Copies of this chain bind each other. A is one copy, B any other.
Amino acid sequence: MPDRSASPPDSPTGGLTPKAEQTRTQILRAALDLFRESGYDGTTMRAVAKAADVSLGNAYYYFASKEHLVQGFYDQIQVDHAAAAESALAAETGFSGRLLAVLDSWVDVAAPYHEFAGAFFKNAAEPRSPLSPFSGESAAAREASIALHRRAVEGSDVKVAAALRAQLPELLWLLQMGVVLFWVHDDSPEQRRTHDLVRQIVPLVDRLIRLTRLPGARGLAEDVVALVAKVRG
């Protein structure tokens, strides 16, 4: 009796895949090409299968759904962002500059996918979707992104209230999610408005963080941290 719930390699480079891992990447590559070319809705699973030289059913053997193909896009952009941010970070020592480096490099890296991203962004917003940035399936990418912000913080000179320090990278990641939300809605050419937003908001964040060391604000900062900690669980 064949396994009813035929679950193939589920993770990007899942543990269990002999050599037909190649077929998987073949499908994924075809999908990303078509997504880029015709957008998400404009790309049919039949077209993906044909471009990858497999049958329709076979595509579904490797990817549980069309949405799952998008996870490949996530992984790709995350890797690209990590590389771009890393080289931008090398040139900056101030906190402000380093945060700007991380945020701005994301906007640059994501630029080619802007139109396509708008079309499938809705899927990411669905709570139960594996594509949600808060989902368990996205944990790896999320952690990697938070780690990037941690590097931005730790490599800098920023003085921050002790209680806040540990949580800061996660809060900055949240800020980045906000930037992404804005970016997706940004119709301006070259996403100039998102660039402007980033450039203006970074010094504000910088000042806000330094403010947390003032007597009147420290307690507030601690409460914010406590709130985030409680709410995250």
Contact = CB atoms under 8 A, between A and B. Distances in A.
Interface in A79-137: 118-119, 121-129, 132, 134
Nearest to A184: B127
A231 interface: yes
A193 interface: yes
Contacts of A227: 197, 200-201, 204
Interface string A195-233: 011001100100110010010110010011001001100
Contact of A123 (B122, B132, B211): B122
A61 interface: no
Nearest to A119: B126
Nearest to A178: B178
Task: Give the secondary structure class of A's interface.
Answer: helix
Contacts of A129: 122
A193 B125 contact: no
A159 interface: no
Contact of A230 (B121, B196, B217): B196
A74 interface: no
A46 interface: no
A60 interface: no
A185 interface: yes
B216 A185 contact: no
Interface of A: 118-119, 121-129, 132, 134, 182, 184-185, 193, 196-197, 200-201, 204, 207-208, 211, 214, 216-217, 220, 223-224, 227, 230-231
21 contacts: A118-B126, A118-B127, A119-B126, A122-B122, A122-B123, A122-B125, A122-B129, A127-B184, A132-B185, A134-B185, A196-B230, A196-B231, A197-B227, A200-B227, A200-B230, A204-B220, A204-B224, A207-B223, A211-B220, A214-B214, A217-B217
